[in-house]
Amino acid sequence: MRVAVCQLNARDDRKVNLAAAELLLERAAAGGADLAVLPEYVDYLGPAAGLLDPEPVDGEVGQFFAAVARRLGMWVVAGSIHERGPDPDHTYNTSLVFDRSGTLAASYRKIHLYDVEIPGRVSYLESATVAPGAQPVVVDVEGLRVGLSICYDLRFPELYRQLTTDGGAQLLVVPAAFMLHTGRDHWEVLLRARAIENQCFVAAAGQTGDHEPGRTCFGRSMVVDPWGLVLTQVPDGQGVAIADLDLDRLRTIRAELPSLANRRL
Ligand SMILES: O=C(O)CCC(=O)C(=O)O
């Protein structure tokens, strides 16, 4: 299984964002990727006032990614989009997974919402406009078990443990828009920790660069192997990085260092 992580700088224009995402997906497909992962909020990253009416998963944005997946014959994790929420004031932050025929194979609503106040650095109250999901999701991608998550979820190891032990995950995907302030110190450490402790591959696709209003994202999208080694990463700016997942290596690591089997509950 060949996996691509696509690093994007989404702005406040849905049409422009979708076109940029499509270009990155085309690069992933040209590189032979079977599965490509896009970042969180691939449809829109900008002032709340500029957000178009949020749609259901089969709205225009969903249909757009379905068509791209079908045209490229590639699995696509449309990182996350603004899904119509439970009331007019709240959306869901939802990841969509399309198979090679463009059929929606799974969707996952971000469970952990980013409500953080670091004076002078980060001020974010995601729960003011987003309703949380409640259901962890693992999807079968041609025999590969893929656990879904979004951005801030990365700080909650119990979610990934559940995806792995209950859901049988072998690959954990993390679409994100990690900010520069936290990302530069925490992003890679957290991704490698989730990979090591769950003995899973991790494919993490981040937003990069500046976004209105005043948000700068860290980027550094990467694929990590179950030993915690970074197989590939995207430098600053938009781009794609591709890695082959060797499932024999995953099985060997789990057999030789059986920390999942050695858990004491
Ligand atoms: O956890 C972090 O540091 C960043 C999380 C974030 O930006 C998000 O969930 O949108």
- Helices 14-30 and 60-72 pack at an angle, to 10 degrees, of 20
Does the ipTM exceed 0.85?
Answer: yes
Q: Per residue, what are the HEC states of 132-159?
A: CCCCCCEEEECCEEEEECCHHHHHCHHH
Q: Which atom of ligand 1 approaches the CA of 155 most closely?
A: 1
Residue pLDDT tens, the chain, 265 long: 999 999 999 999 999 999 999 999 999 999 999 999 999 999 999 988 888 889 999 999 999 999 999 999 999 999 999 999 999 999 999 999 999 999 999 999 999 999 998 888 878 899 999 999 999 999 999 999 999 999 999 999 999 999 999 999 999 999 999 999 999 999 999 999 999 999 999 999 999 999 877 889 999 999 999 999 999 999 999 999 999 999 999 999 999 999 999 999 8
Cβ(64) – ligand 1 distance below 6 Å: no
Cα separation, 184 vs 194, in Å, equals 17
pLDDT at 106: 98
- Model pTM greater than 0.90? yes
Residue of 93, 111, 116 to test ligand 1 pocket, by largest number of atoms within 8 Å of CB: 116
Which domains occur in the chain, in start order? 2-256 (3.60.110.10)
Whether the ω angle into residue 175 lies within 30 degrees of 0, i.e. cis, is no
Half-sphere exposure of 41 (CA within 13 A, CB side): 25
Q: Six-digit token pair at 220?
A: 């550094």
Cα separation, 259 vs 212, in Å, equals 43
Among 29, 71, 1, CA closest to 246: 1
Give pairs for 126-129: CB < 8 Å, separation 24+. 126/93, 126/152, 129/48, 129/89, 129/90, 129/91
Cβ(155) – ligand 1 distance below 6 Å: yes
Residue with tokens 């989404």, as numbered in its chain: 10
Residue of 94, 152, 174 to test ligand 1 pocket, by largest number of atoms within 8 Å of CB: 152
Cβ(130) – ligand 1 distance below 6 Å: no
Cβ(182) – ligand 1 distance below 6 Å: yes
